[in-house]
Amino acid sequence: MTQTQDGTRTRTFGWSDPAEHAHLVGRRSGLELLQAMSTGELPPPPVMHLIDGRNMRAEEGTVTVELDPQEFHYNPLGTVHGGVLSTLLDTAAACSVHSTLPAGVGYTSMDLNVKFLRPATIAGGRLTCTGTVLQRGRRTALAEARITDTAGRLIAHATSSCMIFDLPVA
């Protein structure tokens, strides 16, 4: 983010073409794809650049993503917008499901139930969001995600149902 002398603020960011690595989705497990993003072997999806998410870590059934609150995340009240927090929660919960899927199997979020418990601000420091699979069947999965600040206070939490499906053979 850049601030000029007249007080205007601007933000510029770029992203990689998501189609560039789409062919890997059916050839690698979900965990392999997420870990490749974590190490920088593959670029993160464009939404991570949009919200400025970082430091993804993935293990089977658990994914953690971090976000440093910035002014561009703020709502008119001067706190991180609920949509940004919801995006972070959806990412961690859904990716935790993705981390359990074999190659050739995909998923999509079916719902996201969010509870906001306290405001997040720049002063609260880095937000850590961890998603965990609670239950996974053949066609659906249930996951939860929790956002905490640097003091360990719970900012928001969510549950998410995901639909699991076979990917078309390319």
Q: How far is CA 93 from CA 9, 32, 143, 144, 147, in A?
A: 32, 17, 5, 6, 11
Structure confidence at residue 154 as a pLDDT band (50, 70, 90): very high
pLDDT digits (tens, 9 = 90+) for 7-43: 788 888 899 888 877 777 778 999 999 999 999 999 9
- Asked whether residue 4 is domain-assigned, the answer is no
Residue 119 token pair: 């405001």
Residue 24 token pair: 């890997």
Q: What is the pLDDT of residue 18?
A: 86
Q: Is the pLDDT of residue 3 over 60?
A: no
Closest CA to 93 of 133, 34, 45: 133
Average pLDDT of the chain to the nearest whole number? 93
pLDDT digits (tens, 9 = 90+) for 72-82: 999 999 999 99
- Asked whether residue 10 is domain-assigned, the answer is no
pTM for this predicted structure: 0.93
CATH number, position 84: 3.10.129.10
Residue 136 sits in which domain range? 22-166
Domain count, the chain: 1
pLDDT (average), residues 50-64: 97
Calpha distance 62→168 (Å, rounded): 26
pLDDT-above-70 percentage for the chain: 96
- Asked whether residue 15 is domain-assigned, the answer is no
Q: What is the pLDDT of residue 146?
A: 98
* Locus of tokens 């719902």: 111
